Amino acid sequence: GDSVTQMEGPVTLSEEAFLTINCTYTATGYPSLFWYVQYPGEGLQLLLKATKADDKGSNKGFEATYRKETTSFHLEKGSVQVSDSAVYFCALREAGGTSYGKLTFGQGTILTVHP
């Protein structure tokens, strides 16, 4: 079945450092890919998405590119802020031409940014 693997955390960075959180997936066909963020005490929120190969999703300074050849969707940000401290989840929705397909989540990566 489909699966998503994220880099082990926690990740600790200083403010203004470059961030990469790796995400790779296993799926049949061409799934849609997502990054969610969970701030302390809140529910998950959709951060960005990409629905086909070579698409780049971006939001709030974060970017991720759908790489079919490496089955990856790594999250990057050029300069992190303390307010980016959160848990980040990579996820995919199975292919098949429907918006209602099953969501598969990675295990989450805790990011802590120090001033």
Interaction site with another protein (CB under 8 A): 4, 32, 34, 38, 41-46, 49, 89, 91, 93, 99-108
Q: Can you tell me the distance from the alpha carbon of 20 to that of 86, in angstroms, rounded to the nearest whole number?
A: 14
Closest distance of CB 6 from another protein, Å? 8
Closest distance of CB 108 from another protein, Å? 7
Torsion of CA 92, 96, 101, 103, to 10 degrees: -10
Closer CB to another protein, residue 17 or residue 58? 58
Closer CB to another protein, residue 4 or residue 75? 4
List Cβ neighbours of 55 (8 Å cut-off, separation of 6 or more).
65, 66
